[in-house]
Structure 1
Amino acid sequence: MSRVLIVGAGPAGMRAAETLARAGLVPIVVDEGARAGGQIYRRPPDGFIRPPKALYGAEAKKAAALHRMFEEMLRAGLITYHPQSSVLGFSGNTAQITGPEGMTAIGFDRLILATGAMDRLAPVPGWQHAGVYSLGAAQIALKAQGVALGRRIVLAGSGPLLTLVAHQLRKAGANVAAVLDTAPLSAQAVGGLRMAMARPLVTARGLAMRAGLGRLYHAGVRLDRIEAGDDGPCAMHWRDARNRSHVTPCDAVALGWHLQAETALTDLAGVAFDWSGTWAQWLPRADAEGRASGGVYLAGDGMGILGADGAEVAGRLAASACLADLGYAIPLRNRGRDMRRLARMRRFAGGVARAFPWPAEMIRNLPDSTVICRCEGITAGELGDTLPLAGAEANRVKSLGRIGMGRCQGRYCQRAGAELIAALAGIAPAQAGRLRAQPPVRPAPISLLCSETDNG
């Protein structure tokens, strides 16, 4: 029997596992979470008092159904599950994994990557201070532990997640001081129309959340700086759409400009990449069903940001493509239905990208003193000083200037760094290239790397 390894147990990974299990395979699922669900349907510890409706809102029934389906498969022995485990890299058709039992090597015949998305961050002067988080981190703390990361919180950035996290925090009783959106209302109107045409109910739900924020929400703003003291942030300095200055007191800031695909493992798996002007990101190359290359399949937001519903569809399609390539019969009616659904999700995603653009101009105008790489403390001015030696190529700038060489391996600074390289060199961001992924893709103790258990 063919061994299929699925990396990620969010909506895409869970649906992929279900599809393979129904065909008689026993997929191996590796996930960094303690329990399956991914970020959007992240599950709290046992005994958590907040009900699913409070955690997932209108998506509570979907979340509960996915969780129940996965647990039933696990109890029935239809899947092999490795929670709290990270894939660090690949050697041929073997994945190196670290988890509660140490280092493990798992062999596979086919690989489905459902690695999901992560925050897309842009630097703001002062963002390097403790007490400045990503929107995703604020959401994780709320869902997993019922904690608001501050007593007076400013949320800033752009995209649906900005509104969603603000809504969730306020619903939980947190004190949100301001919601600052860098996207102008004109762009939101054009993109919002496309979103409404593709998914009217989802768009209406988002607008209702936005309306509930009232005067806390401000569109078309410019973020000047985060003022911080010894205890962390104390104020956000910003300008409104009319260029009027404002200072909002706070003790925590959460930033995020929609989401970006998590692609480090996809790179290590040998998949080719193409520049996406829509998302201002290098995205992996795959066909409509998720086939990439060499027995590798992509599903969910790790291939392109489609949201939880789109991830479920993409997970089924990737698993079906895998089964078809293995010689299994796949119902064409189901494939056609899912392809139509995925096309609609992609139209909606295109509207989101148009409504909430990447803040390229804001990044290009950052003061030289602004920290770009939080891990290494590299400023915009220091990046510029590296260019005469390195040239306008991201990997050489990394080698000589250390931007992207820290713990996050460029996940949070790569796009801003490319934007600054492009501005200084007079080229397009795509011409700066992309940072190559390096194993291990997650920090791992040396002691673990020195010992390995072979499970395949």
Structure 2
Amino acid sequence: MSEASSSRIVIVGAGPAGIRAAATLVEAGLHPVVIDEGHRAGGQIYRRPPDGFVRTLKQLYGSEAAKARALHALFDRLAEEGRLTHCADSSVIAVHEGRLHVLGEGDVKVIGYDRLILTTGASDRVAPVPGWQIAGVDSLGAAQIALKAQGVALGRRIVLIGSGPLLTLVGAQILKAGADVAAVLDTSPWRQQMSGLWGLATRPVVALRGLVLRARLGGRYRAGVTLERIEADASGVTAMRWRDAGGRERLTPCDMIGMGWHLRAETHLADLVGCVFDYDEKWRQWLPKTDAMGRAGNGVYLAGDGARLLGADGAEIAGRLAAVACLMDLGHVAPPIQADLRKLARLERFARGLARAFPWPAEMVRTLPDETVICRCENVTAGAVRERADFGGGEANRVKSLSRAGMGRCQGRYCQLAAVELVAAKAGCAPKDVGRFRGQAPVRPAPVGAFLRED
């Protein structure tokens, strides 16, 4: 028996990257195990609604409906034919010595691997705004999930804030579904957005599609805004207070606010398996270091937004390349890859254009009032982070231990980037010099009872 056929290959994540990686391995005659938190494959971008849902694929996925249908059908066929093992509704919460600890229905099981392909995707990158801890404030991704999975809007009168393509997309989707979108407030000024055209021009059709969606928003879309604070009463959100590009103060009544500044890579598992990280100045976040095909060393491969933020099309290509890299390392005959590498390079240029056009609002975060909550899980304020930074020596994990920022349920997924900006500002250095919060198990909340097994 060859090494390739005897090796146990596990893929974590069944979005576009995970599906393509699995299909590539199956085509080579291997039988991968695919672990995914969703009930059915598709990931966040192609999330599937419950059975009996009345909205069509075109309504759910827009111009991406055909791609979603093809990926769903491909994975379902491979699973039904028994050519892969699908562990649905399962979360990998820890990794140790070639074994994954997987939380399923009520208990934790251990799955060993020889090769591991991580396609963990990304989540919303959010920046604190005074009042964002109030009920009625959600991420753009949460608003999109509610719309896709349940066909509901999370409010009666909605304001969306942030920057990036997802801001425009979610606004157009909610508006098309019939909800009342009062305003879409983008912190990136028009001049900044124009500076990214060199990269966006590498995918003119996609860029034009974004402009069409923005046109549908009409006067609701405002660029170059300054976000002041979220107003609320005992029942939750009541209004968004902001300043337009000319500095005029505005107050927009609403009962729900969705927020997001593009995406942040989901890297906790990559951290636990020992991947090396580099600070990406354009995206202003720490990303795992891999080669062009996704190799991260020690039999680990990364693909999709969990490694490089290239969107769904890039995730498919990266998933295929990671699987090919795995096959090559196992001595298997690999298919040609040059065309995929060229496509990935073009998508990289487009993504860099996006990062330049819709940047992380570093200055807004660094100048937040002391009373602003930074870590919603632990109710840690900006003032507390700044105070602990004086004792933490400008090092992220020391400030984390002293302030408890990043020690709650989300383990820093939503507060780490902001906390690091504050520490860097206090220490007078760049965020890359502050470092990042170390990942630790369990990477997801897990019930204690799940670990109480007789064996």
TM-score exceeds 0.5: yes
State how far apart, in whole Å, the 2-side matches of 1:190 and 1:382 are: 36
Q: Does 1:444 align with 2:449?
A: no
Shift of 1:55: 0.3
The 2-side partners of 1:406 and 1:4 are apart by 32
Q: Distance in 2 between matches of 1:451 and 1:416?
A: 39
Aligned to 1:288: 292
Secondary structure of the residue aligned to 2:419 is: helix
| Alignment partner of 1:331 out of 317, 323, 335 | 335
Would you say 1:213 and 2:217 are equivalent positions?
yes
Q: Which moved more, 1:444-453 or 1:119-128?
A: 444-453
Local SS of the residue matching 1:179: strand
Equivalent position to 1:69, from 74, 79, 90: 74
Which of 111, 120, 123 is the equivalent residue of 1:115?
120
Name the residue aligned to 1:253. Answer: 257
Query: Does 2:146 correspond to 1:141?
Result: yes
Cross-structure match for 1:349: 351
Q: Give runs of aligned pairs for residues 34-49 of structure 1, distance below 5 A.
A: 34-49=39-54
1:374 is aligned, of 373, 376, 382, to: 376
**2:223 corresponds to which letter in structure 1?**
A
Counterpart position of 2:187 = 182
2:103 paired residue number? 98
Q: Could you list the per-position Cα deviations for residues 351-407 of structure 1 after superposition, in whole angstroms to 9, with x for gaps in the alignment?
A: 000000010010111111100000011111111111222221110111111011100
Contact 2:324 2:335 in 1 (8 A): no
1:320 partner SS: helix
Runs of 4+ in 1 over 4 A off after TM superposition: none
Query: Where do residues 302-321 of structure 1 align in structure 2 (5 Å cutoff)?
Result: 302-321=306-325
Equivalent-residue separation in structure 2 for 1:325 and 1:444 (angstroms): 35
Q: Which residue of 1 aligns with 2:3?
A: none
For 1:194-245, what per-residue CA distance to the aligned partner results, in whole angstroms no more than 9, with x for missing partners? 212x111101000110111100000000000000111110000000111010
Equivalent residues of 1:299, 1:311 under 8 A apart: yes
Query: C-alpha separation between the residues in 1 aligned to 2:156 and 2:197?
Result: 32
Distance in 2, Cα, partners of 1:101 & 1:69 = 29
Q: For 1:273 and 1:171, how far apart are their aligned partners in 2?
A: 40
Q: Distance in 1 between matches of 2:364 and 2:106?
A: 45
User: Out of 265, 270, 288, which is 1:266 matched to?
Assistant: 270
Question: Aligned-pair distance for 1:101?
Answer: 5.5
Is residue 240 from structure 1 mapped to residue 218 from structure 2 by the alignment? no
Residue identity matched to 2:432: A
Work out whether residues 155 and 166 of structure 1, in 8 Å CA contact, stay in contact via their aligned partners in 2.
Answer: yes
Is the 8 Å Cα contact of residues 102 and 452 (structure 1) preserved in structure 2?
Answer: no
Instruction: Return the alpha-carbon distance in structure 2 between the equivalents of residues 292 and 82 of structure 1.
Output: 24
* Structure 1: stretches of 5+ with no match in the other structure: none
Give the RMSD, CA atoms, in angstroms: 0.9
Aligned to 1:226: 230
Corresponding residue for 1:199? 203
Alignment match, 2:364: 362
CA drift at 1:192: 2.9
Tell me the secondary structure at the aligned position of residue 341 of structure 2. helix
Distance 2:454 2:427 in 1: 46
* Change in 2 beyond 3 A, CA 1:60/1:452: farther
Q: Distance in 2 between matches of 1:451 and 1:409?
A: 26
1:2 Cα deviation after fit: 1.1
Question: Could you tell me how far apart the structure 2 residues matched to 1:399 and 1:449 are?
Answer: 26
CA–CA distance in 1 between the matches of 2:167 and 2:350? 17
Cα pair 1:193 1:351 within 8 Å, conserved: yes
Could you report, residue by residue, the CA deviation over 1:307-360 in whole angstroms, capped at 9, with x for unpaired residues?
Answer: 00000000000000000101110122xx01100110111010000000000100
Q: Give, in angstroms, the shift of residue 452 of structure 1.
A: 7.7
- Could you report, residue by residue, the CA deviation over 1:412-446 in whole angstroms, capped at 9, with x for unpaired residues? 00000010111111111111110000100000001
Work out the CA distance in 2 between the residues paired with 1:9 and 1:68: 13
Distance 1:124 1:372, change over 3 A: same
Distance 1:236 1:41 in 2: 31
**SS of equivalent residue, structure 2 residue 334:** coil
Q: Which one-letter code corresponds to 1:431 in the other structure?
A: D
Contact 1:104 1:452 in 2 (8 A): no
Unaligned 5+ segments in structure 2 are 1-5
Partner of 1:5: 10
Distance in 2 separating the partners of 1:287 and 1:143: 35
Give the alignment's TM-score, normalised by structure 2.
0.98
Deviation, structure 1 residue 91: 1.2
- Over residues 49-80 of structure 1, what are the superposed CA-to-partner deviations in whole Å (9 max), with x where a residue is unaligned? 00000000000000000000000001100110
Percent identical pairs in the alignment equals 62
Q: Quick one: distance in 2 between partners of 1:156 and 1:55?
A: 22
